[in-house]
Every structure is written in structure tokens, then in C-alpha cells.
Chain A
Amino acid sequence: MSLTSIAENPKPGSTIFSPELAARFDKLVTLYPRRRSALIPMLLYAQDEIGYVSDAAIAEIGQRLDITVLDVRNVLTYYSMLRTKPVGKYNVQVCTNISCMLRGGQEILAHCKDRLGIGHKETTPDGLFSLEEVECIGACSWAPAVQVNYDFHEELTPESMDALLDEYRSKASQ
């Protein structure tokens, strides 16, 4: 009988992360009274490095924290900002919460959908852009706001949105 409750897949000692991140994780797990408290920061850092939280990353994080893969997934699926699938190079997150909605967030979203030809949580075939409708990103004073990866862009109109997308597209081709 196999009760593989502790993730066993990765070989101990080997890591799928960069040496810097692995070192960071080694330190992170010592900072909390309970090891598993380091789970959410680890998932975020892993996502930043890989682009999403892969199955291998889940397995290794579970092993580092001495918890089951199921435990990691329980937390992972709770947070919509943690992804288990790859996204485009630029993840366009359009806020449609109250302030943005009042100032045209929905139009920005519709415009993006139209322009990029993709819907919510979808990626363009060239892998450049992903689109996501998100809840409040804390930029209400400058609504409507859009977050692309970790960069904020505020007080947008369909025209300035176009310019923004073009800017990213040219940035990618450099």
C-alpha cells in the first residue's frame, strides 16, 4: 500500500528553482514558528520565477514544508492571484470594481477583449498577452486602472489602452 502523503517526487537536495530562490526558501522556512506558514510567500516567489505554480513547484514546496501536495493545493486554489497554468508575457489585469466601473473599466475590458481577441483568463496565440478581469487593485483614485504584471497604468481610455498595448508589443519585439 502506498500512502504517499508526503510529496516524494523530487529527489531531496535537488531543486527546480534557481540557486538564489532555493537559498531564499531555505531561510524562509526558518522564520516562522510553524514551517507551513511560509507557504504563501513561497508560492508567490515560485510564481514570479516560473511564471506560474507548476506541478513540480507544488511538489517541491510541499516537500520543503513537510506537508502534502493536497495541502499545498488547498491553499493555492484559494487565491485567484496564484496561477497553475502559464500566462502570456504580459498579464493584463483590468479592474472592474466600483470606482473603475463608474469611470469606464468595463469599456476598457471590452476594448481589450476586442483588440486582443481573447477573453477573461485567456492568452493570445503568440503567448504575448493574457487578459484577466480583476477585483479592486487599490488604484481607485486614478480609475480606471489596469495592472500589467507588476506595473500600474491609470486613468485609461480605449485610446490610451491601445497605445499601452502597442508599447508592450514593441517592447517584446526588442
Chain B
Amino acid sequence: MADVTLTVDGKTITAPAGTLLLEACRKVGIEIPAFCYYPGLSLQAACRMCLVRIEKMPKLQTACTTQVTEGMIVATDTDEIHQARKAMLELVLANHPLDCPVCDAGGECELQDMTFKYGAGGSQFVEIKNHREEQQWSPVVFFDRPRCILCYRCVRVCNEGMDVAALGIQQRNSGSVIAPNDQTQLDCEQCGMCIDICPVGALTSDTYRYKTRPWEMTHVGTICTHCGDGCKTTLGVRRSDDGMQIVRGDNRDKSGLNGEFLCVKGRYAFDFANNEERLTQPLVRQPNGEFAPVTWEDAIKIVAQKFRVARDDRGGASIGVIGSTRNTNEEAYLLQKVARSAFGTNNIDHHRTTDYVALTRALAGKKHRMASIADAGSAPAIFVLGNDPTEQHPLLAWNLRTNVRHNSARIYLANHRDIKLQRQAKSSIQIPADGYAAFARFLGGEENSVFGEDAKALRDALRNEPSLLIVFGSELRGSAIDALAEFGLSLPDTKFACLGDYVNSRGAADMGLYPDLLPGYVPIEQEGGLRAEYGGRMSQQAGLDVAQMFEAAARNELAVLYVVGDDPAERLGVDADALRNTFVVVQDMFMTATAKLADVVLPTSNLYEKSGTVTNTFGDLQLVKKAADRAGVRSDLELIVRIADTMGEDVHALVPFGKGVRADMGQSRGVQSGEADRHGIWLAAHNLEPKLSPFDPNAVLDEIQRLVPGYNFDRMELLAGTSQHVDADGSGVMEISRFANRPDGAMPSADTLFTSGTLGHYSEKLNEVETFQAKKSMVAAD
């Protein structure tokens, strides 16, 4: 739109026509206070704090609803306006209790800030303030009515942003009150957006309320560990008896690719880290069959010795390695490097939840065809095939809803069940649960009587889209993805994304946790490159996948199984008998089903307790920062290096010292649990400078950046907290049909908003919310 020029406080400013006056002023650094105005939500003009004087208008005008026009002359900083703001604050404070010392919002309250800046010290009201008791609306949401200033932000974010409409406004004038939808309780997704968007302390969260104050916490921006969307979350941590404890999760600073959005898991389900069942001592199985705690040195010595003996006596192929989808890229990369170059095995795999390999292969040689999650918020048309983003990928659903609201994006859905996103969809069809592959071929032009007129109409509509984003779930695998990609690539401008379940599902795939693929989906047979780096011990034979490893173990062909942060026994239903002749080492936070079968269990830290990077399912690479800390546990990165070192491997070759390493001088290591000291001693013993730590994920990241195809990102941008999109080139990848057809080829976790695999099981708050929701749906069914 054309620009207009206006004058604000004597300053000439230019803004596109149609911009709100308040936004135009903020752009040039003129602050106009407002409670009810919130970028991205509909306009309310309820709080009257943004009043300004516009020449030739009889009264003061609300800057949040006035559009800029040519020649407008505005005053925002006069005595008249100060008086107006002061009067508004006096009205807002008429019934607002002065309990700032106990209020959760104290210290980060917009009303406090405004009162300091514009308000009066006293009040002309002599009436006693109305007091109402606090209400608990759900396991996570509390409402303190007198503190509410009726800005309607919560109502709007719930209606518009979340499309849940669980909050309304009842009664009128001074009796107005925010009301939940189910009498005195909330029947909603429990996302907590209303709490974070509240400018005051009217809505408070159960996990944080009355625990501490904002300035008492350390705030660390890291990545949520729960689903594949990779939302940034700012964790507030406080010192506790055994490390640093997370007290709060939110993203109020709107940084990162998710803006202010977080779902119930990102906001509240960090408490798995404090579960008392958490392991904090290495455990070794004794001859009597019981676990007994041992020292870290002994545990690592036992493990390293077993690994070395197995490799030397029975060959590398007798060792199996299973990686994690919740560890960092650095850990996944180092794990497969150690497995290939130190153990000499290609028996390495992870929990696949979708088929990244097929998509990468289908898009081989095509640049910029993999979408970023930001594209879901800006693409003019999006086709979602399978999956239920509202439940499984909340940020994707949020981006899609926002895109429809702001840009009138067209959403097309094809799914075998009713999903909530249908309410935003332009067109939506139902297909059989086993008909996804057929539907992908149908889109490509193959006629099929299963799909009726509505499917044809959808296909025609997609064909006419000048620019399209195709997002598909794990329902599509192997050749079905080929068919879909072929259809998409026949359109003028198409991007793709496939939806995996865990925070680093994509990273684990990119980092080559495959029996036949090296990092960056490079086939194992390919000469040069990574093979040259990994040395002579590396085998050219493709290894075993997860299920085959257990089969091999049952045949007594697997001497050692090394499971890093995964629970295959639970997933595949492995019994103890199958592993009776295999030495099993498990690195995990909890006594999982696999850990129960293990010979050695090493307690590890979770994603909130380490540094590194993760790649979300869209291929957005983001920085993970160490927030919490727990005495007694160690990161998987450290354990992998320590085991390799104790085996007698050359750690200098394993971790790339001196190859353009930009070490972090120790910032990524925590001081709270003595981690830095411990590392310092180890480094001194190895004649290494402290800054060249192999426990420093940045050193591994350097190698990833140097060697992994697609991971050529801007390091400074990444360190600054910006997500970097990575896009591996899959040329050379062959059909991996044996995965696509196997039952474990991709096992989607089928997590909902209120479950999160193993972690959800150990999160008390998430379980509480789930019980609450189950009770609600039972009542609704009656």
C-alpha cells in the first residue's frame, strides 16, 4: 500500500496507509501505552490507555483503532494526555487490589509499569474495593477476579488464536467478569495462552503461582523437548538442593519461531525432570540379578571393557546401537560416529516416526523444496494430508489458524478422521485410513473409484494453486511419498514438510542414525567424504535396524546392545529372554522397560539440561541452551566420549580439535553440579586446553557443519537465537523398501496434546491435566 506521511509530536513519520497509529508510532520509537491492544488479535479499544490528540478531531482518539492518514497531526505527550492516562489508571485501579508483594505478576506486570510511569500515587475513591475469592478453573489455570482489568486479551486469544472459545465475558459495566465455558471450569486445550497474555496477575498458572518472583529466576531460552515442532521456550530456573530447578516455562518475549505460542506441554510439562523416580546413580546388575549403584568410573570402565572385548573378539557387527529422538544433533552425530569408527558397526538405528528418507530422496537435487515451519504461517495455500496438527503439532496448527485469520490462506485437508482444523479449512475430505497411498497416487492422476467427487474437486483446487505447501503425516511412507512428491513437483511452486513426532526426530535422521545411511542421507557405500574421515574400521556393509537387532540378539549374534535415550523394549514388546546373551547398556533418565532389561544403566540429563542444537521436523535448526541442572546425572555427549576414551580410542580424532574449532570457552557447561570442574580434571589428564573440550557440543557442531550435507547454516545467526533452515540433498539415496514395509519402519507415537511418550508418563502435571480432561469427556458423554 502507498505510504502516508503524518506528524507525531512534531516528528514527521511515514507509514503504509492502513497502519494503525499505535503501530506506526511504535515503529519510530514513540511509545503509546495500551493494555487491550495486542498485535495479531482483533481490536478492542477497551482500556482507553492509548488516547492521543489528533488535530481537527473533537475528542481524544484511541491510537490502537485509528488508521494513519495523510497529513494527520498527532500529539501523544501533552499534559492533557497525561491527565487522561492518569484518570484511566485510576479507574482501572478502582477495584484492583494492591497485593503486588504477593501477586505472581509483581515485577513483570504491565499495570505496575504503567502506574509507575503515568499513574497517580493516590486515588479519589473512598469506597472499599470489591473482593472476590480466587477460583481454580482447571489443574493449571487460576483466576483472581479483582485483579482483572478487563482487557479481553485472554478472551480474544482463546477465541481467535486458539479457536477454542473457552473464555467469555459476562455481566456488564463494573460487574463484568471473565467466565469459563463449563460453569466454573475450563473445557479447553489447557494451553495456558490466556495466562501468559494476561497483562496483570488475574490469570495465574498452577506450576508457578506463589513459588518465586520473576527477578529471582534465571531465564534461559531453549527448545521444548516434547514434540517435533521445536518451539522455543524460556525456562525460568531457580537453584534447588540438587542443582537448578525449572519453575516456569513460557515465551513471553515472543522470540523464536513460535512467537508467543506454547501448548500445554511446553508450558507445564517440564516437571518430568523433577520426578522422584529419576535415576541419579549408575546401576550395574549384580550376579544375583539385582541392580546395585556403582561409581561413575567403575560403570564406565565396565561398559568400555565389554564394548572393546565384543569388538575385538566377535567383530563390530556384534554390537548394536540405538540412538534417541530427544537428544541433540551433536549427540546423535557423535553416537553414530563412535559406532562406525570406534565400534566398527553399522548396526545403528533410532525410533523412526515418519519417513524422512523417502521425502529426501523424492526431492533429491531440488533446492528449496523443504518448507520451514514459518511457511505454514505465510503460504497462501496449504494442503494437510493425514496427521492431526491440533493434537500432535500444536504450533503448526497455530500457524495455520493465524495464516487463515491474517492472510485468508486456503487450507485443504484430507484425513481419515474428523480433525479440529476442519473449521479453518476451505475444503476437507475424508479418506479411508488405509487409503493414503492410493490417495497420493490419485492426486497424481491415477483414477480410483474409492475417491468421489469431493476428492476430485479437491484435486482440481490443488492443481490451480499457484503456490502450495504440502504437509503430510506418518500415514504416508515410501513410494506413497514419491507419488505425492511427483504430484507436488508438477505444480508451479510447491514446498513439502513431513511430520515426525519428537523434538529431534528429524535431527536423528539427518545425523545418520540409520544402518545404511551416513549423516545427510549419504549412502554407506559412497566413497570419500565421511568415510574418509571415519577411518579404516568403518564397515561398508549396511547394518541391522532396531527390530533386526533384537532378532539377532535372540539368535545369540549380538554381544552388546547400547541404547542411548530410547525405549525399544516398550515399543516393540521385547521380553527379557531375547536379551539373555546380550550385554545391554542403557542411558536414560528413568527405569524404562529397556532399562529394566539392562546390565548397566547410566543416568543421563534431558534436553533442558544440556547444550547443543536440534532440528525440528520442518528442518529448522535451533540452539539448545542448558537451563536446568541435576546433580548425579551426565549428558549423553559426555558419556559417549568417556566410554570411547576408556576403550582406548583417540578422542582427538573422535572430536575435531583444531579443525577450525571455535570453542565456547566453557559457557555451555554448567557450574552448578560441578560439571565444569569435572571436565577440567579430565582435560588436564589428557593434556588438553580447557577451552578445547570434547564435551563442548560446539566442537561437534563444527564437524557437522563441515561434513553433513545440508548443514551449511550461518553460525552467528544460530548463536543469536535465529532458527536456520537445513535442507539435505538426498541424491544417491536408494529405495529403502525394507523399512517402509516393516511394521517398525515408522512407528508414530500417537501422542496427543496431553501425552508425550516416556516424558509424559513422568510429568505429574501432564497426568493431572489428562485425568481432568478425561473426567470432562466422561461427563460430556453422559
Check if A and B associate.
yes
Whether A2 and B776, one on each chain, are in contact in the complex, defined by CB atoms closer than 8 angstroms, is yes
Of A1, A2, A71, the contact of B165 (CB 8 Å cutoff): A71
How far apart are the CA atoms of A71 and B187 in the complex, in Å?
14
CB neighbors of A among B147-167 (8 A):
164-167
Whether B168 and A3, one on each chain, are in contact in the complex, defined by CB atoms closer than 8 angstroms, is no
Chain B residues whose C-beta falls within 8 Å of the C-beta of A71 in the assembled complex: 165, 168
How far apart are the CA atoms of A69 and B183 in the complex, in Å?
10
Whether A1 and B753, one on each chain, are in contact in the complex, defined by CB atoms closer than 8 angstroms, is yes
CB neighbors of B among A70-94 (8 A):
70-71, 73-74, 77-78
Chain A residues whose C-beta falls within 8 Å of the C-beta of B780 in the assembled complex: 2, 4, 8
The reply on B420 being an interface residue by CB < 8 A is: yes
The reply on B752 being an interface residue by CB < 8 A is: yes
Whether B165 and A70, one on each chain, are in contact in the complex, defined by CB atoms closer than 8 angstroms, is yes
A1-45 contact mask (Cβ, 8 Å, vs B): 1 or 0: 111110010000000000000000000000000000000000000
Of B165, B170, B172, B754, the contact of A68 (CB 8 Å cutoff): B165
Of B166, B179, B189, B420, the contact of A73 (CB 8 Å cutoff): B179
How far apart are the CA atoms of A74 and B177 in the complex, in Å?
10
Question: A77's closest neighbor in chain B, by CB?
Answer: B170
CB neighbors of B among A108-136 (8 A):
none
Given A69-B181, A70-B165, A71-B165, A2:B187 Cβ within 8 A: yes
Whether B168 and A74, one on each chain, are in contact in the complex, defined by CB atoms closer than 8 angstroms, is yes
B168-189 contact mask (Cβ, 8 Å, vs A): 1 or 0: 1111100000011100000111
The reply on B275 being an interface residue by CB < 8 A is: no
Chain B residues whose C-beta falls within 8 Å of the C-beta of A3 in the assembled complex: 164, 187-189, 420
Chain A contact residues, majority secondary structure = loop
The reply on B128 being an interface residue by CB < 8 A is: no
Whether A2 and B171, one on each chain, are in contact in the complex, defined by CB atoms closer than 8 angstroms, is no
Within the complex, the shortest CB–CB distance from A23 to chain B, in Å, comes to 30
CB neighbors of A among B733-782 (8 A):
752-754, 773, 776-777, 780-781
How far apart are the CA atoms of A74 and B181 in the complex, in Å?
10
Chain A residues whose C-beta falls within 8 Å of the C-beta of B166 in the assembled complex: 5, 70
Within the complex, the shortest CB–CB distance from B52 to chain A, in Å, comes to 30
How far apart are the CA atoms of A70 and B155 in the complex, in Å?
11
Within the complex, the shortest CB–CB distance from B737 to chain A, in Å, comes to 37
Whether B181 and A5, one on each chain, are in contact in the complex, defined by CB atoms closer than 8 angstroms, is yes
Whether A5 and B168, one on each chain, are in contact in the complex, defined by CB atoms closer than 8 angstroms, is no
Whether A77 and B171, one on each chain, are in contact in the complex, defined by CB atoms closer than 8 angstroms, is yes
How far apart are the CA atoms of A155 and B235 in the complex, in Å?
69
Within the complex, the shortest CB–CB distance from A37 to chain B, in Å, comes to 18
Within the complex, the shortest CB–CB distance from A126 to chain B, in Å, comes to 30
CB neighbors of A among B189-216 (8 A):
189
How far apart are the CA atoms of A2 and B168 in the complex, in Å?
18
Chain A residues whose C-beta falls within 8 Å of the C-beta of B164 in the assembled complex: 3, 5
Whether A5 and B777, one on each chain, are in contact in the complex, defined by CB atoms closer than 8 angstroms, is no
Whether A68 and B169, one on each chain, are in contact in the complex, defined by CB atoms closer than 8 angstroms, is no
Given A73-B170, A78-B172, A1:B752 Cβ within 8 A: yes
By Cβ-Cβ distance, the 8 closest A-B pairs, closest first, are A2-B777, A77-B170, A70-B181, A74-B168, A2-B780, A70-B168, A78-B172, A4-B780
Interface residues of A (CB under 8 A from B): 1-5, 8, 68-71, 73-74, 77-78
Sample of 20 more A-B contacts, CB < 8 Å, known A8-B780, A70-B167: A1-B754, A1-B777, A2-B187, A3-B164, A3-B188, A3-B189, A3-B420, A4-B187, A5-B164, A68-B181, A70-B165, A70-B166, A70-B168, A71-B165, A71-B168, A73-B170, A77-B171, A78-B170, A78-B171, A78-B172
Interface residues of B (CB under 8 A from A): 164-172, 179-181, 187-189, 391, 420, 752-754, 773, 776-777, 780-781
17 CB-based A-B contacts, threshold 8 Å? A1-B189, A1-B391, A1-B753, A2-B773, A3-B187, A3-B188, A3-B420, A5-B165, A8-B780, A68-B165, A70-B165, A70-B179, A70-B180, A71-B165, A73-B179, A74-B168, A74-B169
